[in-house]
Amino acid sequence: MILKRIVPNGTVSTTLSCEASQAFSNFQLNRLFKDFKVFDIDGDGSITEKEIKSVLMKVGDKSSLGDVKNVIKEVDTDGNGEIEFPEFVQLMYLLKTKKIKTSRFGNVVKKVTTIKREGGGVHSYTQEEKEGLVDFINNSLSGDQSVAHIIPIDPRGDDIFYEVRDGILFAKIIDKYFKGTINMRRIVQKPRLNKFELINNLNLVLQASKKLLIKLVNIGPEDILEKREHLILEGQGGRKKINLSNAPPEELLKSWFNYQLEKVGCDIRINNFTTDLKDSKALTFLLTAIDENNCDLSPLQEQDPMRRAELFLQMADKIGARKFINAKDIVKGNNRLMTAFLAQLFLANPSMDDSESKRLERELKLKLGKFRSRMKDITGQTNKLRSAINRLQDELDREKRERLELEKHLKNLQTDLIDQADPNIRGLLLAKLREKQKGGIVDVEKHIDDFLKSLRARFPDQPEYIKTVERTLKKLRSFLIKHPEYAEYIKEILEPENIIEFDVPWVDDRGKVHKEKGYFVQHSSSLGDYNGAIQFDPETDLGTLKALGLENAPSHPVSTLKIGGGKGGSTSDPKSKSGKEKKNFNESFMRELYKKIGKNFEISKKGKGTGKTELDQLYDMYQKLSAGKGNKWGSSIHPKATGSGIVHITDQALKANGQSLVNIKVALSGFNDESLNAADTLIEKGAIPITLSDETGFINVPNGITKEQIKKLKNLKEQGKPLREITRLDRTIKFIPNKKPFNSVKCDVAIACQDKDEISEQDAQILAQNECIAVTDCARDASSEEAIQVYGDKGVLYIPSKLATLGSTAISKLELEQNQSGQPWSEGIVDQKLKEIMQNAFEDCQQITKEYCDRPTDYDIGAEISGFKKIADQLIENKKKGIQKKLKKGVTWEGFQTPEDFINNLMEQLRKEFPFQTEYLESVEEFLNSILPLLRTNPEYSKVAQIMTRPQKIIEFEVPWKDARGRM
């Protein structure tokens, strides 16, 4: 039978089985729903593999990460790969009724939900501790008729956290054991209490607790009202016999315990309430000291620790002291329950007269004084050490500044002397100077190592970005050693200029509002506006986008284009959205991004999860926001630009090495615009494209794919159908499932357009054995580092993605030139201009490669050096012209070193002054971001920006008026 039940908070209507529904109270269901929401991070009503992993990482449990898929399968009764709330409740029901003994997901839930992070600390409780507290309350109030409808409380359930929320049970416990501590007449006792009455009761309880020196851990009335289990009264202590308010309760109990042991002539002394008490021996002596008439040492004759603990508890029961603990708690060494047991034993049976109390008080004060004295000495020594370290650091900083000034002075002096020397010997002097400066190699190496150490320390959670930086510096090392003056630009070029993070709200088809994370990373704007791709993928994170942006930035200068680098994206999953939802999301993404950076950027490439439709929707919203005055995007004047660029650069590389594309068999991977357009252009060049692939396999056409077949393939792709479907349309095409073309088919040239790490070291070995002469990477890092090494060793020509993917970027600039010329260009003219750009890029890369690389065909290294050098040269030129961030010494943006810092500070001030005026704050932020380029080159305008964004005067007044009855 299935029935409907509303979770108590009223937010979710859940379909539960009748058995599961009846097994839990409303309060318990509410608790279960809160536990469910801990895992359901995006609030969509289901728990995914990614969400479980994220929660486990947050609580520091990495041991369960590898088994998450199996954990989900165990609970996922409908087989959709996710856990919905009814499935969650059903599992908890089966565990509660012991119909199943254990569950891996149940263990994960228990581990996560009993570790709550609040106030910067970790609080937790065990089932034993909870049962001990419930048993104590049940025993203490069993005869009280006013709470007979509540007592006894089930110790196995969680009802205790609901029943104590009105403070009445706590008040009765305090009044029973400490008469007069709490005024019971002020405690409101009735069936239904309003919030003010609840808070009144809880405040009285907490005040009474403080009088008794009960240790409270960050507890207020709202914590008990909200049933925060782990924050309900933790620790004990008391003034009943000893007036020592500054002594920690644990120290008081230890001193009392040891005093009682000494009194009965026992040699045992305890230092803790766990290992020292596990054998029950000291506990047995303690009871004998407290009540020698009813207690003896007979439990010590028992050899089994568990049985001995039980005998001890039976003896404690005789004097009414068996509270909080059981035999298992003693043997296990539960510190909290043992502390609670000893505290109530001490308060009920101190077994000391006044003189003994005073003696114990003196001993504790002496211990406390020694401890404070020791802490004072340690603090003094620490302060002295810190001062010494600061002085040493100041001296080192001063020496470093002096050394740098001296080196700069000597370098300028040497340069001036060489410039004034006889032209006939100037070359010799320069050579000698460079030879002497070889010692500078160590400085460059150290500079690189220090930068990488800093990067790893600052971004430990961004391994892909760190790996990309390491790979980039490895390629730049030979150039930087020859030109150490460029080393100072490493940080400025390899780290993003700006990182923009924002929320993207969007509405689904049911009218429900969702929020997803959006990013835009900006690199190297010294050459021009930011230009790059956008990707929408659930696996998107900041580290990945920074890596992609870094790869993007130096590739643009290689083509001689004046363009900066950029990469944006979101955690959105387009596959899970309808067409309308995609449009809603795309438009919202552009609105939020435009608020942050204005119109000075461009998206010319498709990224993961974005195709023509997504780019068109983003572009339409961009033009709407910029009132039609924004940059032109895309490749509308040459739809095949990306594919044509790949083929042009491959052709250039082959010709430079005495080869040609004519009659060459080319294996392509990928089933996307790049691979299809490249195949089309290859046919026009006289080459023979023989393969295309997707994640399920590849097609093989040994005699060459035809233009007609490419049309069919493009139609198939536009319909969203997999590659294997082409065999239904054309029986001459063979589809090979679950294999890759590069290790299955012989080819002369391989062009990888499908995915990262597509060609492994083994694949590269097979290509070389099959006499492949060239490999072109179109997808980022399609060839692994080991594969690239194989190419170099085996003489296979390698064209990196930095060169191969320039076509899409170049075409957007050509479109701008066409618009400025006022004349439409034919596709042939555009293709010729594109070919010239790709040719210039290759020739520049080739020249750099010959100058700085071990092999004249190391185009991968050459492209990296070429891009880096062009950006660095532009930065140097900007400095000369006074366009750098610090235009000249002493010039700042109202006291800040960068315009970004100035804007952030101004916005922070405005948010503090006008915290509830969100529309005003959003408008100011949008305005400041739109004038950011102006502020970069004109710091003096920052004062104007301050005046413009802040109201000069705000006038508020009351308007009296009369209604129809004449009332004011």
Residue at token pair 């490249």: 678
Question: How far is residue 342's CA from residue 322's CA, in Å, rounded to a whole number?
Answer: 10
Residues in the chain: 968
> Which residues, in sequence order, are bridge partners of residue 699?
692, 735
Radius of gyration of the chain (CA): 38
Q: Which residues pair with 734 in a beta bridge?
A: 700
Helix 26-39 × helix 104-113 angle, to 10°: 90
CA distances from 10 to 45, 104, 222, 229, 886 (A): 14, 30, 20, 22, 57
Of 244, 254, 228, the C-alpha closest to 338 is 254
- Distances in Å between the Cα of 118 and the Cα atoms of 108, 217, 228 are 20, 11, 10
What DSSP line would sit under 865-927, residue for residue? Answer: HHHHHHHHHHHHHHHHHT-SSS-STT--BTTBSSHHHHHHHHHHHHHHHSTT-HHHHHHHHHH
Q: In whole angstroms, what is the distance from residue 187 CA to residue 201 CA?
A: 5
- Within 8 A by CB and 6+ apart from 754, the residues are 669, 670, 671, 672, 675, 693, 694, 695, 779, 782
What is the residue whose two structure tokens read 């359901």? 40
Give the number of other Cβ atoms within 10 Å of residue 144's Cβ: 13
Query: Rounded CA gap, 739 and 695, in Å?
Result: 9
Distance, in Å, from the CA atom of 103 to the CA atom of 414, rounded to the nearest integer, reads 76
Query: Which of 493, 525, 455, 551 has the alpha carbon at shortest distance from 868?
Result: 493
Nearest CA to 268 among 300, 244, 245, 240?
A: 300
As a whole number of angstroms, the distance between CA 885 and CA 492 comes to: 11
Q: In whole angstroms, what is the distance from residue 545 CA to residue 522 CA? A: 10
The answer to whether 7 and 29 have CB atoms below 8 angstroms apart is yes
Distances from the Cα of 337 to the Cαs of 218, 312, 940, in angstroms?
20, 16, 67
Classify strands 774-777 and 749-752 as parallel, antiparallel or unpaired: parallel
Place of tokens 């994220």: 54
Cβ atoms of 749 and 664 closer than 8 Å: yes
**CA–CA separation, 739 and 698 (whole Å):** 7
Q: Inter-axis angle of helices 423-436 and 354-420, to 10 degrees?
A: 160
- Residues 907, 913: Cα–Cα separation, whole Å: 10
- Of the residues 567, 665, 833, 869, only one is catalytic, namely 567
Q: Which two tokens stand for residue 621?
A: 């919203």
661: left (phi over 0), alpha (psi -120 to 50) or beta: alpha
Say which residues have a Cβ less than 8 Å from residue 855's Cβ, sequence separation at least 6: 792, 849
Q: Report the SS3 class of residue 602.
A: strand
* 567 classed as catalytic: yes
3-state secondary structure 155-212: CCCCCHHHHHHHCHHHHHHHHHHCCCCCCHHHCCCCCCCCHHHHHHHHHHHHHHHHHC
Q: By C-alpha distance, which of 210, 208, 190, 188 is closest to 199?
A: 188
Q: Hey, which residues are catalytic here?
A: 567
